[in-house]
Amino acid sequence: MEKENLQPKLVFDCFAEVNKVPRPSKHEDAMAEFLVRFGNALGLPTKTDRVGNVAISKPATPGLEHLPGVILQSHMDMVCEKNADVEFDFMKDPIRTYIDGDWLKAQGTTLGADDGIGVAMQMAILKSTDIAHGPIQCVFTRDEETGLSGAEGMGSDFMEGQYLINLDSEDEGEIFVSCAGGATTVAEFPFTRAAVPAGYYTARVTVRGLTGGHSGDDINKNRANANKLLVRFLVEEMGKTALRLIDIQSGGLHNAIPREGSAVIAVPASFRDQLSADLNLLLADARKEFAVTEPDLAMELSTEPAATEGQEPDETRRMLLALLAVHNGVYAMSQSIEGFVATSSNLASIRLQPDTGTVRVVTSQRSSLLSDRMNISAVVRAAFTLGGALKVETGEGYPGWETNPDSILVRKAVESYERLFGHKPVVRGIHAGLECGLFSVKYPHLDMVSFGPTLRGVHSPDERLLIPTVQMVWDHLLDLLKSI
Ligand SMILES: [Zn+2]
């Protein structure tokens, strides 16, 4: 198959145009200008707002003026990740796509189908002369991937319509009707320096090789959390010997399940062999516990230069117990959608800060219900408060999108799908943020759904688009526009 022959041709041609325009998150100026030029060239009403979102309106095709207004929405930015051995400048180079069987991929970089394929579908509808639809507004938001600041900064009068179809989902055959809201809870623990007695052995304990993943989407996949494994070992050893904590640097982004971490500790020199034996025992146990999900799990000990100062031991004891106790992973399953995670928390990072001299712990909580999210954040704060944290704070967070059982759009989308493909789509929620959460606050009366073609490996150079699902989603979208 040649790239030029991919179907639906209009959509893939638009996607090729989109992929010529650089659009890293927070650097969407060129993309916004491209879309404004596109709308103006078609002679369609085109506007931008103060945060740089773009909207292009298109009147109904003749005879369908009576239909309610539909907003089609995607985000214009993309995650820019590349393989280390690839020369590529996301600020100016076009994405180099190629076909591999049924998949469209990019050479060593993210593909930008998240959410460029949604953008392309909107452009195809705006450009088309033979697609039947009522009044349409195509909305392109900025900076979905690194803070949702486009949707966040949008005024409550920018979008016009009764229904909104978000084109930023990644599983054909699934219709999303709710998303989780979330917040970050940060604690700072004291790290008062005290002398390490003479005759101690100093070592670094490292956990690495874990699978990691997204702290929302992947939280129910039984993956190990590097911070939890590290703390588990330190607490075990603290129960046996006079352990001193010298440094801890574990975990990374707040929205990622931590894959690696390390701590520097000191123990009486006579305990050295025991320390190493204990680590091997825990490693053997952990490999059994995570036999399926963590094939490359590793825990290692290495000798460090003798430390003279470490955290005051009682502070260490209380902090480590709090980190062991604090909830991590799924907290509650949904009572309305079978098998769907309702509420979770992720222990994302534990880091001694050289500037403040405190240990900063970052966690993130998600839930499809605001009250549940506030409760899990309180649970996390409680553990940290008991552990002697100097400061524990939950940020304002972002809102979720709650299932609307009376949604006409969801019913129409399901009926249309069944009519076209002969079976029911899966109707479900997503345990991660979508821009729909913010829209549900600013536009409380908007009836929304989210769907899109199948993508895999998103946010990584392995990102790929399942080509046949683009035609399916396109047919579904056009049918829904007619029948709404
Ligand atoms: Zn996206």
What is the structure's pLDDT at 254?
A: 84
Above 90 in pLDDT, residue 111? yes
Q: Is 235 exposed, middle or buried (0-12, 13-18, 19+ CB in 10 A)?
A: middle
Residues having C-beta closer than 5 Å to ion ligand 1: 114-115, 168
Q: Using CA of residue 368, residue 372, residue 378, residue 382, what is the dihedral sign?
A: negative
CA gap 280, 285 in Å, rounded = 9
**Distance (Å) of CA 5 to CA 61, 231, 383:** 28, 54, 58
CATH code for the structural domain at 3-180+401-483: 3.40.630.10
Other Cβ atoms closer than 10 A to 402: 16
Above 70 in pLDDT, residue 399? yes
Specify whether the backbone of 436 is left (phi greater than 0), alpha (psi in -120 to 50) or beta: alpha
Say which of 144, 237, 260, 463 is annotated catalytic: 144
Which ranges in the chain are annotated with CATH 3.30.70.360? 182-394
Cα 310 to ligand 1 centre (Å): 44
The conformation of residue 256, written as its DSSP 8-state character, comes to B
Is 4 one of the annotated active-site residues of the chain?
A: no
CATH of range 182-394; options 3.30.70.1050, 3.30.70.360, 3.30.300.30, 3.30.465.10: 3.30.70.360
Cα 249 to ligand 1 centre (Å): 30
Q: Is this structure's pTM higher than 0.95?
A: no
The conformation of residue 387, written as its DSSP 8-state character, comes to T
Cα 399 to ligand 1 centre (Å): 17
Which ranges in the chain are annotated with CATH 3.40.630.10? 3-180+401-483
Is 462 one of the annotated active-site residues of the chain?
A: no
CA gap 13, 197 in Å, rounded = 70
What is the tens place of the pLDDT at every residue in 155-192? 999 999 999 999 999 999 999 999 999 999 999 999 99
CA gap 333, 265 in Å, rounded = 38
Query: What is the share, in percent, of the chain residues with pLDDT greater than 70?
Result: 100
What is the tens place of the pLDDT at every residue in 53-96? 999 999 999 999 999 999 999 999 999 988 878 899 999 999 99
What is the structure's pLDDT at 432?
A: 86
Cα 470 to ligand 1 centre (Å): 16
Helix (H, G, I), strand (E, B) or coil at 61: coil
Above 90 in pLDDT, residue 433? no
What is the tens place of the pLDDT at every residue in 17-50? 999 999 999 999 999 999 999 999 999 999 999 9
Above 70 in pLDDT, residue 1? no
Say which of 28, 49, 77, 171 is annotated catalytic: 77
Cα 330 to ligand 1 centre (Å): 23
Higher pLDDT: 2 or 306? It is 306
Cα 433 to ligand 1 centre (Å): 10
Cα 458 to ligand 1 centre (Å): 9
Query: What is the share, in percent, of the chain residues with pLDDT greater than 90?
Result: 87
Q: Give yes or no for a contact between 159 and 444, defined as CB atoms under 8 angstroms apart.
A: no
Cα 119 to ligand 1 centre (Å): 11
Instruction: For the chain, state the CA radius of gyration.
Output: 25
Specify whether the backbone of 26 is left (phi greater than 0), alpha (psi in -120 to 50) or beta: left
Q: Is 227 exposed, middle or buried (0-12, 13-18, 19+ CB in 10 A)?
A: buried
**Distance (Å) of CA 443 to CA 70, 90, 371, 412:** 14, 34, 21, 20
What is the tens place of the pLDDT at every residue in 60-71? 999 999 999 999
